[in-house]
Amino acid sequence: MPRLSTRDKEKPFILIGAVIAGILLQSFIGKELPWIIYLTEIGVFFVILAVMLPVEIKELGKAFKKVKPTAIALFMNFIFIPAFSWTMGWLILRNYPDFWIGAILYTLTPCIGWYLIFTDIAKGDVPWGIALLPWNITLQVVLMPFYLYILVGRIIPLDILTLARSVGLFLVAPFVLGYILQKAIIKTKGRDYFFGPFKGILGEVKLWALVVVIITMFVSQRSLDISDVQRVGLLIVFLITFFFVLFLLAIIIGKVFKLSYEDTVTMAFTTTARNSEAVIGVAVAAFPGHPLVYLAIILGPVVELPMLLLISRLLLGFRERIWVKGGQGNIINF
């Protein structure tokens, strides 16, 4: 399993740079350019396709070789976290509905990529983490319309047709096309090529496509006011609280359900790491003219990376202090 690359470490700064570039370009142009949103949508479709392409759906059954921790992880990701995120948003961001919506969207979708790197760094169960990937991607595609209607619809009214278009175009279509392309490339080029050179090139192109998407998102919208930027502090408080609480919950769950250290680590990262790319397209299509929604989603991974690094260090530090050797691995001992 690869370690965190230099590019991964640079990603938060690259994303912030893209936001700044988009805002400055919009200020220089001095007017909205709504036609650019079509370029944004094309870029978003490619980014989400690139995210979903490497996930092997056929591995769904492997996760249930560990029935108890898998059931807990899926409950946390798809029932507890949406409710927790909405409630915490009401407590912290209810006076700023666009930030509230962006924060909810960002936290709705579990990560399907780099959380495995942090799982490996903290000596977690990487094979189980890999087995969770197809569940995470499949359920977030299936459940997103319900989350948007039930949770986001309580904050601002949503047009059902717009909602259906955004989910269909930016989640369902890339999901289906990714599955077809994956099978075709593996059949013609082989698995070694697909999960080796091709996946590496895809990751690089995806990052820079995301940069273009972010710039065009802000160029196409109204300029942000200085008061908008001043409220970012509340959003950062929301995000740090989100990661910290879920980390503590993973430790508590490990204790209550007698999970091994390795399973607890994987639980911690599959519930904290988020998939921001998957919801950018939905946000662009469903919330045009709301740049603060986009800003909240983009700031998510900027806060996420240092928080995941901190969590990995804490887990390694706690390993010898609160875990002891048991018959089936490292069992939590408080």
Q: Residue 3 — very low, low, confident or very high, per pLDDT cuts 50/70/90?
A: low
CB distance 40 to 216 below 8 Å = yes
Q: For residue 273, give the 3-state DSSP assignment.
A: coil
Q: Going by C-beta distance under 8 Å and a sequence separation of 6 or more, which residues neighbour residue 182? A: 53, 54, 56, 194
Q: Residue 177 — very low, low, confident or very high, per pLDDT cuts 50/70/90?
A: very high
Q: Residue 107 — very low, low, confident or very high, per pLDDT cuts 50/70/90?
A: very high
pLDDT of 325 > 60? The answer is no
Which of 87-96, 188-197, 215-224, 273-282 is predicted least confidently? 215-224
Q: Which two tokens stand for residue 13?
A: 């700064």
In order of start, what are the domains of the chain with their CATH numbers?
Answer: 6-315 (1.20.1530.20)
Find, among 76, 180, 84, the residue nearest to 132 by Cα. Answer: 76
**142 compared with 64, residue with greater pLDDT:** 142
CA distance linking residue 330 with residue 255, whole number of Å: 11
According to the model, what pLDDT value does residue 326 have?
45
Q: Residue 1 — very low, low, confident or very high, per pLDDT cuts 50/70/90?
A: very low
pLDDT tens-digit map of 209-249: 888 888 888 777 666 565 666 688 899 999 999 999 999 99
Q: Residue 35 — very low, low, confident or very high, per pLDDT cuts 50/70/90?
A: confident
pTM confidence score: 0.81
According to the model, what pLDDT value does residue 127 have?
87
pLDDT of 287 > 50? The answer is yes
Sign of CA dihedral 88, 287, 105, 310: negative
**238 compared with 287, residue with greater pLDDT:** 238
CA distance linking residue 160 with residue 57, whole number of Å: 29
Burial of 201 (0-12, 13-18, 19+ CB in 10 A): exposed
CB distance 321 to 330 below 8 Å = no
According to the model, what pLDDT value does residue 248 have?
95
Averaged pLDDT score across all residues of the chain: 84
CA distance linking residue 246 with residue 318, whole number of Å: 16
Average pLDDT estimate for 8-35? 77
Average pLDDT estimate for 44-60? 79
Burial of 271 (0-12, 13-18, 19+ CB in 10 A): buried
Biggest CA–CA distance in the chain, Å, is 66
